[in-house]
Structures are given as structure tokens and as C-alpha cells.
Structure 1
Amino acid sequence: MSDALNCGQGGGAHSYTSLRIASVFIILVGSGTGALFPVLAKRSSRLRVPDGVFNFAKYFGSGVIIATAFIHLLSPALSELGSPCLSPAWSDYPYALALAMLSLFSIFIVELVAFRWGTAKLSALGVVHDAHGHGLGAHAAHGPENVNPIQLSTNDSLSEKSDPEVAISKKVQDDNPLAQIIGVFILEFGVLLHSLFIGLTLAVDPDFKILFVVIVFHQMFEGLGLGSRLAQLSLSARYRYVPVVAALFYAITTPIGIAAGLGVRETYNPGSTTASIVSGVMDSLSAGILLYTGLVELLAHEFLFSKEMSRASNGKVAYAVICMLFGTGIMALLGRWA
């Protein structure tokens, strides 16, 4: 059975070697462009990117992240942990779904504890926040929810002058950036694991050409989704490097995976027993992280609990939903090939 199914350690493809090497740099540029552009554009006065571009990227990115969780992580995890190369015991229980659920609830518990701790700290300082966590509790980690990224500094200055409580809140947030950095790590962790395994697969997969084209777009769109979230972080000058570093980590992860795959393609087989278990477990855990982030932190907080959206016109809400569905649809379509 092992020979017929190629469950051993060998089996990496040796075709298109030059193009596989070139893909390291091509995907580096594509991933870096998608992740870094929103971050750098928000900080640059020369680019003068319209508000609508940032809004589109934000809602489009939410859809990309959710589709990545379902189509590009959870579905492959079910296949990998259901591989005929694995022991029959792996088929006795839906381990991929269970691991995704475990990951989702783990993130929820961590955020719940952080939120309650943050609430107590803010209450001690006399800062009031609303019931859905739109103050400076744990959810500040995902960026200011009711402020346009380009108008952030102007609005903050006006708010501080007119409302002392806002000034206190902003100071607490700037003095305690740990919550925001943890939020970045949670969002990026699942994306980076996914990107690493994509690179390994691309380096050894026999159907290289189609997979390569799809992954270039996949990484660019996913980078745009991540970058639009990083661009919204409100960090003090001391920690302004964090979004840039996070974007760079994303940009280099898939190229590192490709380079590693090229180095071990004599022995690495993505369909082997060990590779299926490792990849399946990591994809499952990553899916849970992105499902929680996408559905709770992005959709619920930006559409259901957002004061900006509750006051917005039907046209603006419809536009945001369409952008989100467009991002979901594009990434779901790419799942047809990768």
C-alpha cells in the first residue's frame, strides 16, 4: 500500500527547476506588495490614498481571511488527516474539526481573560467603555473600529480636546501596546503557518505551473487582507515598527517555504504519513484561529457592534458587505486550484 500511495519520504518533483527558484523572488515581491502597501500608504502623505481604497481593502481583507480559513485551511486539513496513508484510527473521529474547535475556543478564552483584566484596569483609571468591548480592553488589539485610518490623527486630536475621557483612553492604549501586539500575533500566526506549507508544497508539487500562478494571486490577496488590518493599528511612536515587521514576516514566509522545499525535495513528500499529520494538525489549528478572528473580531465588531455602521446609510453598509463578499469569492475561487 505504501508504494502504491507514495506514502514514503521521497517523491518531490524535479521539473521546472529554474522557474521554481525564480518563484521564490516573484512570490516575495507579490506577498510583500500586498502586505506592505496598506501599511506604508497609511503612513505616507505623498501617496494620498483615498479613503475609499482603505475601506475597500479593509472589508475585502475580511472576506479573504474568512475564505482562507474555510477553503484553504479547514478543507485541506480534512483531506490530510483523512489520508489513506494514515492509520485507520485517524478515520474514527473528525480530528481536523476538533482541533479547529479547540483552537477557536483557546483564542476565545485568552481574549476573554485579557478583556476582563483590561476592563478592571480601565475601571480603576476611571475610563468607561461600552458593553461590546469597543473601549480599550482586549479588543483594542484589532485596531480602532470607528475611525477612518487616514483621519486617525486629526480625529484623535479633536477628540482629546473635546473629551478628557478619550484623552485618558488614548494614553492608556499608547502606554500599553501589548494587547495590540498580541492581537497582531494571533491574526498572523495562522496565516504564517499556512504560507509556510504553501511554499513547501509549491517547491515539490508536479503540477507546478497552475499552482504557481494561483499562489501568486493567493499570497497577494491574503497579504492585502493582513496589511489592511496592520495599517489600522494605533501604536505609539516607540512601536510603529511592529506593523512593518509583521508585514515583512508575512512576505518572506512562503519564499522560505519554497527554498526549504527545494532543499529537501529529494526526501520530502507532501503526501507522506508524517507530512500529512503535521500539515493537517497545523492547518486545523490555523483554521480555528482565522475563523475566530474573521467571524468575531472582524465581521461582528465591524458590522453588528460598530457604532459607525449602525449610523451609516444602507448604501454604505451594502457596499461594505459587497466588498467583503467579493474578497470571500475571489479566495474561494482560488481554492479550485490551490
Structure 2
Amino acid sequence: MANFKKVVCWSILFLLPAVVLGDCTCDSEDQGIKKNEALKYKIAALAAILVSSAIGVCIPVLGKALSPDKNFFFMIKAFAAGVILATGFIHVLPDAFESLTSPCLKEHPWGDFPFSGFVAMVAAMGTLMVDTYATSYFKNKSKESGVVAQSVDEEGANNNVHSHAAHGHAHGSLVVTGDYESELLRYRVIALVLELGIIVHSVIIGIALGASESPKTIRPLVGALTFHQFFEGMGLGGSIAQAKLKSRAIAIMVLFFSLTTPIGIVIGIGITNIYDENSPTALIVEGIFNSASAGILIYMALVDFLAADFMHPRMQGNGKLQLGANISLLLGAGLMALIAKWA
């Protein structure tokens, strides 16, 4: 009996390290792999995400009630800002930390420094610099071309009319401003940078989903990513609507956003046999791109959406609008945070 107890004790001592190490492996998971069933879910995800992305981004662009000149537009933008902020903080940045702190990477240098936070910080500062220089450039360009005179209708919409800027007067009821054109061009820069940040992580999401061969992994992602892309599309659509782009430019941006994740899924399906999500190369690429995307999204949400709109004179002078915008912000962030439970 004593010998038996010794054997059991020694067995536990030898097996314990193996059990601990078994929780952390860099080998691809083979359990639950059913290629045919997984492919059906991938195709369903491709179609659902394509449709939801297109609808989400088109609602602010095509909706007359969501015109940038309406108060309700501020509430929609606050909701969209909450979605984008939660996307950056809760969906993208944690994935980046998980990738760049994976035990599958070498301890040096990846374990010596918080690269995810560093890359996100650099991306946010880079976005600030682009935003600042673009705004400065367009303002200087506007001053060189002369003062722009705008007519103001009852709802505060600006319309170009004939003016004599050199003589300091104009015909009709006018508000003379030299910043209208530069502000409009700044909105266009914001829309382009925001789409860049969204596209980066959308491609990564699509590839990861398309390369997965586990139905258990894909199934909850279909619904979660469908809602994710819909809400994110509303945020981007609001920015596009405010930029007042030409129809062709709007169509291109809508198309790019709608197709990005589905294209990523197709790429993922194509590289299923060679893609290893736990390989050092995949982890580093995903981690760095996700970190950069998170920095861009967080900056855009806080600075170009929330700070700009919540300090706007129309918002400051309307208590009901402030309350509605705050509720919309919390609702957007809350819904997107909830989706993280499944995505």
C-alpha cells in the first residue's frame, strides 16, 4: 500500500507540468473541425455581413431625416461615436494585446515591452498630425483663394451665392466665412481616415473568420459581426454624409466598406490550409495592425466625433439635445460592448 501511494505521488509530480503546459499550446486546434459545416457558416457570414454593412453605411447617407443640418443627426453621430469607441477599446485593442503577448511569440522582445499600447499611441498621434496638417493646409488654401460668402437658410444650411469679397460686401442675406470650405475639406479627411481605420481591422476579422475550420467558433461570430458591421457602418455613413462628397466618391467609400470584411472572408477561405493563427508571423501582423486600427478609431471617436459635436454651439445651447446625445452615446457604446460577449 505504501508503495502504491509512492507511485501515485510520483505520477502526479510528473504529470502536473504536462497538464499545466497543456493549457497553453501553439498548435492549431483540431477539435471541432468540420470543414463542410464550417464552409456553410462562412458563406452565411459573408452574405449577412455584406448586406448589414451596406445597409448600415447607407442609412445616414441616404436618409433625409439624418441630414447634417438636423438636430437628430447629432444624436446619430453620438450613437456612432459610442460604437466606434467601444470597437476600439473593447473589440480591437484587447485582440491586439492578446496577439502580441501570446506565449507563441519569443519572450524577447515581445515580452519585454507593451507593443500593443505603444503602436496604438503612435497611431493616435499620427492621426492627430494628419488631422492637424490637413486642416492647416486647407485653411491656408482657403485664405489664398479669398473669403467665401455663404447664404444661410432658415435651417442653417449654407449655400454659395454671388459676393464681392474684395470690396467687403455681398448681395442678399449672407454670412461671410473663410472657414467653410476648409471645414468641409476637413470633414472629408476625417471620413477617409476613419474608413482606413475601420478597413484595417475589418480585413483581419474577415481573414480570421474565413480561415477558421471550427463551426463552434464561426457560429456565434455570424450574428455578432453582422451587428458589429451594421453599427460601424452607421458611424462611417454619418461621417461620409457630413463630408458632402460627390456621388461617385460616396459610392466608392460605401463599396469599399461593404466589401472589405467579405473579401477578408474569401481570402481566409482560400488560405485555410496554410494559415496558422498561432504562428509568430500571423500573431505579429494581426497584433500590430489591430493596435494601429484601435489607436485611429479611439482618436476619431473622442476628438473628431465627440469633442467636436458636444462642444458645438447648437449642442451647448440645447439641453434636450445634450441629453439625447449623451443617451445615444451610452446606448451605442453599450450595445457594441455587449456584442463583445459573442465576438
Match among 213, 223, 227 for residue 237 of structure 2? 227
Q: Does 1:331 align with 2:336?
A: yes
Gaps of 5+ in 1: 129-146
| Aligned-partner Cα distance in 1 for 2:158–2:128 | 30
1:61 corresponds to: 80
| Aligned-partner Cα distance in 2 for 1:48–1:76 | 35
| Aligned-partner Cα distance in 2 for 1:70–1:23 | 24
2:316 corresponds to: 310
Match among 62, 75, 87 for residue 94 of structure 2? 75
| Aligned-partner Cα distance in 1 for 2:67–2:298 | 33
Q: CA deviation at 1:288?
A: 0.9
2:226 corresponds to: 216
Partner SS state of residue 63, structure 2? helix
Gaps of 5+ in 2: 1-20, 163-171
Partner SS state of residue 121, structure 1? helix
The percent of aligned pairs where both chains have the same amino acid is 35
Give the counterpart letter for 2:228 in structure 1. Answer: H
1:20 corresponds to: 42
Give the counterpart letter for 2:337 in structure 1. Answer: A
Higher-Rg member (1/2): 2
Q: In 2, are the aligned partners of 1:2 and 1:8 still within 8 Å (CA)?
A: no
Partner SS state of residue 165, structure 1? strand
Partner SS state of residue 272, structure 2? coil
Return closer, same or farther for 1:288/1:49 CA change in 2, 3 Å cut-off.
Answer: closer
Give the counterpart letter for 1:271 in structure 2. Answer: N
Quick check: 266-275 or 278-287, which moved more? 266-275
| Aligned-partner Cα distance in 1 for 2:114–2:179 | 45
| Aligned-partner Cα distance in 1 for 2:97–2:77 | 29
1:135 corresponds to: none
| Aligned-partner Cα distance in 2 for 1:200–1:260 | 6
Q: In 1, are the aligned partners of 2:75 and 2:321 still within 8 Å (CA)?
A: no
Greater fraction of residues in strand: 2
Structure 1 residues 302-327: Cα deviation after superposition (integer angstroms, max 9, x where no partner)? 112x1111211x22201101101110
Return closer, same or farther for 1:33/1:93 CA change in 2, 3 Å cut-off.
Answer: same
| Aligned-partner Cα distance in 2 for 1:71–1:320 | 21
Return closer, same or farther for 1:302/1:4 CA change in 2, 3 Å cut-off.
Answer: closer
1:282 corresponds to: 289
Match among 93, 102, 111 for residue 122 of structure 2? 102
1:137 corresponds to: none
Structure 1 residues 205-241: Cα deviation after superposition (integer angstroms, max 9, x where no partner)? 3211111111111111111111122112224xxx332
Q: Equivalences for 1:141-290 in 2 at 5 Å?
A: 155-157=157-159, 161-163=172-174, 165-166=176-177, 170=180, 172=181, 179-205=186-212, 206=214, 207-235=217-245, 239-290=246-297
Return closer, same or farther for 1:86/1:12 CA change in 2, 3 Å cut-off.
Answer: farther
Return closer, same or farther for 1:169/1:119 CA change in 2, 3 Å cut-off.
Answer: closer
Scaled by the length of structure 1, what TM-score is found? 0.80
Q: In 1, are the aligned partners of 2:122 and 2:295 still within 8 Å (CA)?
A: yes
Q: In 1, are the aligned partners of 2:138 and 2:185 still within 8 Å (CA)?
A: no
Q: CA deviation at 1:163?
A: 2.1
Scaled by the length of structure 2, what TM-score is found? 0.79
Q: CA deviation at 1:27?
A: 1.2
Count of residues in Structure 1 that have an aligned counterpart in Structure 2 = 305
| Aligned-partner Cα distance in 1 for 2:253–2:68 | 21
Q: CA deviation at 1:253?
A: 0.6
Return closer, same or farther for 1:50/1:158 CA change in 2, 3 Å cut-off.
Answer: closer
Structure 1 residues 90-118: Cα deviation after superposition (integer angstroms, max 9, x where no partner)? 01100000001111111112222223333
| Aligned-partner Cα distance in 2 for 1:3–1:9 | 12
Structure 1 residues 54-95: Cα deviation after superposition (integer angstroms, max 9, x where no partner)? 444222101111111101111111111001111102011000
2:326 corresponds to: 321
Return closer, same or farther for 1:326/1:267 CA change in 2, 3 Å cut-off.
Answer: same
Q: In 2, are the aligned partners of 1:8 and 1:273 still within 8 Å (CA)?
A: no
Return closer, same or farther for 1:25/1:116 CA change in 2, 3 Å cut-off.
Answer: same
Q: In 1, are the aligned partners of 2:142 and 2:182 still within 8 Å (CA)?
A: no
